[in-house]
Each structure stands twice: as C-alpha cells, then as structure tokens.
A and B are shown apart, each in its own frame.
Chain A
Amino acid sequence: MRNRALFLYAFAYLAFLYLPVLVLPVFSFNNSEFIAFPLSGFTTRWYAALAGDTAMLHALGNSLKVGLVTALLSTILGLSAAKAVTHYRLKGAGAALGFISLPLFIPDIVLGISLLLLLGAVGLPLSLAAVVLGHMLVCVPFALTVLIARFEGFDRNLEEASADLGEDGWGTFWRVTFPLMLPGIVASLLLTFITSFDEFLVAYFLSGTEATLPIYIWGQLRFPERLPLVLALGALILAASVGLVVLAEYVRNLGVKQPMVGA
C-alpha cells in the first residue's frame, strides 16, 4: 500500500522535474514568436536561425573552451589532492579538504565579486582565463568528491602486487592505477565540464567582453522576439548533454572487461 503511494509520488515528482524542461523543445518547434498556448503549428525555423547566429556560435565556442580547460585543470588538481589524502596519512587533511570545499558553501555571487576585486587589485583584465579560475573554484570540490570516492574503493594491494611482479613506479601507474581510475577520471571530467558549461553567476562578473553561452542567453532574455531561438538552443544543449552522458556510460562499460591478451 505504501509502496504504491510512493511509486505514484515518484512519477508525480518526475513530472514536476520535467515540466519546465519540456517547455523548451515544445515551444522551440512552435510556429509563433509568442511563448503561450495555444500552439501554432510545427516549424524548424528557429533552429535554422540558430545556425546563422554568429554571436551565439562565438559564445558557444567560448563556453566549450572554458569548459574543457576547467574540466582538465579541475580534474588534475582533484586527482593529486585525492591521491594525497587517501594514500598518505597527512595531518590536517580534514581541514585542507574542508578549505578546498569551501566554495560549495559560499554564494556564487560572492565568489564572482571577490575574484573581480582581486583581478582589479592585481591589474589583470577580465577574460575567459579569469572565468576558468572562477570555475575551478567551484568545480574542484566536485572533482574531489568523485575522485576520493574512487580512490577509497581502490585496493592498495593491487599497486603492491604490480611492484612485486616487476613493474617500477611508472609501469605500475600505467598498467594498474590509471586504468582503474579511468572511470572516476571520466566522471570527474564530465561533471566539471557540465558544471562549468552551465555556470552563469561567476562568469557574469569575470568574463569581460567575451561572453560565455549562459551570458549570451541572459542577454537575449529581454528580447521577446529572440525567445524561441533561445529555447531552441536550450533544447539542443539538453539533447547534447543527454547524448554525452549516454556515450560516457557506454565507454565506461566498454573499458572494464577488455582482455589485453596481445598487449
């Protein structure tokens, strides 16, 4: 009896979650500039218009650049910190982790503004590089969480076994540590990329003249005639994200049981 109520709740909750999300594709195919019911027929002209929107494409390029760099740097920093904390008994490790995770508990607007002040004081310009720095603050804690969980589930004996069987430090790393960490690394890259790609508040203060995609979207929201295009963009981003995650899952399961008999 309780199960059924819970089950119904689950689906109702899903509906609540998806409702706004579905607005995007629905109205992006709607043949009207007005985002309201009733619907006026199917069209793909908004998607077509997107292709020619150079400002949008430029912002998209910026977001991709920032996202990739942020993902790589955050994951690398997260990797070394995660390894340090799980493999060695360091005094003050807890405090260090708490400090690194602090950005999660500080409103993004404060992060953005304070970095803005720092750049001003040091004399550095607002730029995509500044955005990367700001995004790293936000993303490293996520990377750390994923990677620490991965390291903790890792049998230390495996590295010792590899050494015992004749592999030196580098050999052990490439043949044992890295392959086993790979799913965690991929998860971290994915998580940090998506976080950076979608991040608005910090980028808003730090990007200067170069817009990232969320900043571009923000700029478009005050123009009613641009709205259907923006919705089309959102629908595309959603589709791409879903595709990316499905691909990542596929790759992850692919890498695990691959026999390397000839390797």
Chain B
Amino acid sequence: MSFLDISQVSKSFGGPPVVDHVSLEVPRGEFFSLLGPSGCGKTTLLRMIAGFETPDSGTISIEGEAMNSVPPHQRPTNMVFQSYAIFPHLNLFDNIAYGLRKLRLPKEALRAKVEAMLATVRLEGLGARAADQLSGGQRQRVALARALVREPKILLLDEPLGALDKRLREAMQIELRALQRKVGITFLLVTHDQEEALSLSDRVAVMEGGKILQVASPRELYERPNSRGVADFIGEINFFHATIREIGSEFVTVNAGLLGIIRLPHANLAIGIRSDDHVLLAIRPEHVRFASEGLAGEIAAATFLGDRSHFHVRIAGRSDPVAVSGSAPPAGPVHLVFPPEKLMALPAGD
C-alpha cells in the first residue's frame, strides 16, 4: 500500500467531470507534481486531498487510512495556498505559530519550534514583522513555514511560485527542492509550468481534461511521452503525420510523407500502436540537425538565446515551420536531417 493512494477519484460541479476516474500512487518522501493547463483538474484534485472538496466517487487514503470522511482540519496534510493566505491581522511569528496553538505547548517549546522553522526558511529575526510588510518571496516562505511547522505527512503546494518574478522563482525552486530533501516529507505540487515540474520533481503526473495522461520521471516524460498531449505540453516538439507500415521485433517501418520511409527502433513506438495505424512522429528541436544534405528549407525566424539559438525553418509541403534548436547552420542553402533514433511514434488521436 502506497503512502498516498488515490483510487478512481471523480468530481464534477454539475457539468462534465473536472476530475475523471483518477488513480495515483505516491510513495513516502517523494517530490511529486501534478502538471497540466488551467482547467485540467489538478487543483481540484489537490483540494480533494486537502479535504476542501469531496470526491463524488473513489477514495483517497494516506498511510492506509481512508480520508473521505475526514474534515480538512483533521487531515495529516498541510497546504501552501496560491495566494499564500497570510493572516493579515497577525504578525509573522503568530502566523507561523497559528497551527500550533491547539497543541498547548509550553511557551518556550513553541517559541523554539517557530524559531527553528524561521531559520529553516531563512527568515530569522523577522518574527515581529507585520503581515503587510512582507515581500512576495517572504510571504511565500512564511506560508511554507506555517505549513511545515505542523510536521504534516504530506505538504500540498498550489502553484506556490506563480506570483514571483522569474529570478526569484528560479531561486525559490532550488530552495524548495533543498527543503524537501532536508525535511524528507512528501511534497505534492500543482503547477502549469512544465519547467518547474520537471526541475523539482521525482515524478510528474501530466493531466488534461480531468484525466491523467502519463505518470513518469521528468526524463521519461521528456524523452518518451506516451501521447500527443504529453509531448506537446512538455517542452517544444515537432510533429509529422505518418502511417505504420510494418512492426518488426527490432524495428518499425513508417511511411512518413515528407520524411520518406523511415525505420525507427521498436522502443520509440508508443504502447498500443498497431500496423496501418495513423501516427504522429515527434522529434525535439534540439535533435533536428542542420546538414549539407537532407530536407531543403528556408530559415523564417532566428532567436538568439545565449547558450543556443532557436530557428523556425520553412520546408516545402508543410504549413508549420520546423523548430530547430542548436548552433547556427553553415552558410548556404539550409538542409534538415531527422535522426530516426530520435523520432517517437505517438498515437494520432487526441
């Protein structure tokens, strides 16, 4: 039995289901993310784990104990809200101490706990600050400290870094990862930012339309997406329409239109695809190479990004340009090469 067990959970608000028969297992101590566009159900799922929404069907269990009838204030979870929800009428110390009051700890013990947490999130000495005198980054850390000081079994984070500017966000991502490693508890993060999910998590569940598309480590999601939805959402990708001609034990032969007849390694075939199926061949921009021979094209746009450059290349017979990432092509007419071992065959349906 997993630490956090979500089994066939569904929820709707009077229309189509927002969360549709979702099942997930999260082991103890993992940094797990729910990733998806707005409206995909990830926040609703998080709120159901926290107890603010009740599933219409299915069960949520933590350490084997079913949580369905447990109200939020009795669950072993704590949440960092997107808006941080810092109590404006309390100062920093009292905000963090809020959830400890019920424990009726002796004054010194309480103070020690709070001060320790202040140090952990690097806010020492600011206990007396009023809530409205904190910066965005500080508020985020107060929200974290407030939740962690209660030593929950699972920390839930609802898009915690969305309100921060890019630099701060990146710094906070590193801190968050380090914090999770240090504290050792299960973190469950909800975000629409795939870079964030990939850089922080041990595993990610990609959601769309209330369903889970794929659950895997960041590397696997990037290199072996199982569907168009996942491939499209994670990083940038090029799609080509193709049909399966023959599936062998080691190789798969594909009729790839503009790219000709190609033989891919069997491993690059997504599960469930059969002969004659219409598929999408997907390849990441950094795997498309400029060469002296290959598919002829014309550079439509070029963006300098510091460590590499990004190009949009128009080729005949295709309306969308091909995205290519890497160093600049040699001078002269442009040709593109698509190494077969980097092409993934995904189901063409939605």
Interface residues of A in 125-183 (CB under 8 A from B): 155, 157-158, 160-168, 171, 175-176, 179-180
- Answer yes or no: B81 CB below 8 A from chain A CBs: yes
Distance, CA A168 to CA B102, complexed state (A): 11
Nearest CB of A to B103, in Å: 9
Interface residues of A in 92-132 (CB under 8 A from B): none
Main secondary structure, interface of B, reads mixed
Instruction: Indicate which residue in B52, B82, B98 contacts A165 across the interface (CB closer than 8 Å).
Output: B98
Chain B positions within 8 Å of A167 at CB level? 73, 99, 102
Q: Is the CB of A155 within 8 A of B71?
A: no
- Answer yes or no: A259 CB below 8 A from chain B CBs: yes
- Answer yes or no: B128 CB below 8 A from chain A CBs: yes
- Answer yes or no: A237 CB below 8 A from chain B CBs: no
Q: A157-B83, A161-B81 are in contact. Are A261 and B94 (CB under 8 A)?
A: yes
Tell me the nearest residue of chain B to A258, going by C-beta. B89
Nearest CB of B to A121, in Å: 45
Q: A259-B90, A259-B94, A260-B94 are in contact. Are A164 and B72 (CB under 8 A)?
A: yes
Q: Is the CB of B71 within 8 A of A176?
A: no
Q: Is the CB of B81 within 8 A of A160?
A: yes
Distance, CA A73 to CA B109, complexed state (A): 44
Instruction: Indicate which residue in A160, A180, A256 contacts B52 across the interface (CB closer than 8 Å).
Output: A160
Instruction: Indicate which residue in B71, B79, B88, B147 contacts A180 across the interface (CB closer than 8 Å).
Output: B88
Chain A positions within 8 Å of B251 at CB level? none
- Answer yes or no: B91 CB below 8 A from chain A CBs: yes
Nearest CB of B to A181, in Å: 11
- Answer yes or no: A257 CB below 8 A from chain B CBs: yes
Interface residues of B in 80-137 (CB under 8 A from A): 81-83, 85, 87-91, 93-94, 98-99, 101-102, 107, 128, 130
Tell me the nearest residue of chain A to B52, going by C-beta. A160
Q: Is the CB of B87 within 8 A of A166?
A: no
Tell me the nearest residue of chain A to B152, going by C-beta. A164
Q: Is the CB of B130 within 8 A of A164?
A: no
Distance, CA A15 to CA B59, complexed state (A): 70
Q: A155-B83, A163-B72 are in contact. Are A257 and B130 (CB under 8 A)?
A: yes
Nearest CB of B to A109, in Å: 44
Instruction: Indicate which residue in B52, B71, B77, B87 contacts A158 across the interface (CB closer than 8 Å).
Output: B87
Q: Is the CB of A164 within 8 A of B128?
A: no
Q: Is the CB of A165 within 8 A of B146?
A: yes
Chain B positions within 8 Å of A263 at CB level? 94, 101
- Answer yes or no: B287 CB below 8 A from chain A CBs: no
Tell me the nearest residue of chain B to A176, going by C-beta. B87
Nearest CB of B to A200, in Å: 39
Chain A positions within 8 Å of B72 at CB level? 160, 163-164
Tell me the nearest residue of chain A to B103, going by C-beta. A166
Distance, CA A161 to CA B72, complexed state (A): 10
- Answer yes or no: B150 CB below 8 A from chain A CBs: yes
Q: Is the CB of B52 within 8 A of A166?
A: no
Q: Mark A49-65, 1 if CB is under 8 A from B, else 0.
A: 00000000000000000
Distance, CA A158 to CA B89, complexed state (A): 11
Chain B positions within 8 Å of A257 at CB level? 89, 91, 130
- Answer yes or no: B194 CB below 8 A from chain A CBs: no
Interface residues of A in 176-231 (CB under 8 A from B): 176, 179-180
Q: Is the CB of B81 within 8 A of A180?
A: no
Interface residues of B in 32-61 (CB under 8 A from A): 50-52
Chain A positions within 8 Å of B128 at CB level? 259
Interface residues of B in 128-184 (CB under 8 A from A): 128, 130, 146-147, 150
Tell me the nearest residue of chain A to B156, going by C-beta. A164
Q: Is the CB of B85 within 8 A of A157?
A: yes
Q: Is the CB of A164 within 8 A of B89?
A: no
- Answer yes or no: B78 CB below 8 A from chain A CBs: yes
Q: Is the CB of B98 within 8 A of A157?
A: no
Chain B positions within 8 Å of A258 at CB level? 89
Nearest CB of A to B67, in Å: 13
28 contacts between A and B (CB under 8 A): A157-B82, A157-B83, A158-B85, A158-B88, A160-B72, A160-B85, A161-B81, A161-B87, A161-B146, A162-B87, A163-B73, A164-B73, A164-B78, A164-B147, A165-B73, A165-B146, A165-B147, A166-B99, A166-B102, A167-B99, A168-B73, A180-B89, A256-B88, A256-B89, A257-B91, A258-B89, A259-B93, A260-B94
Apart from the given pairs A167-B73, A261-B94, 16 other A-B contacts in the complex at a CB distance below 8 Å: A155-B83, A157-B82, A157-B83, A158-B85, A158-B88, A163-B51, A163-B73, A165-B147, A166-B73, A167-B99, A168-B73, A171-B73, A257-B130, A259-B91, A259-B94, A260-B90
Chain B residues with CB under 8 Å of chain A are: 50-52, 71-74, 77-79, 81-83, 85, 87-91, 93-94, 98-99, 101-102, 107, 128, 130, 146-147, 150
Which 4 A/B pairs are nearest by Cβ-Cβ distance?
A: A165-B99, A157-B85, A161-B85, A163-B72
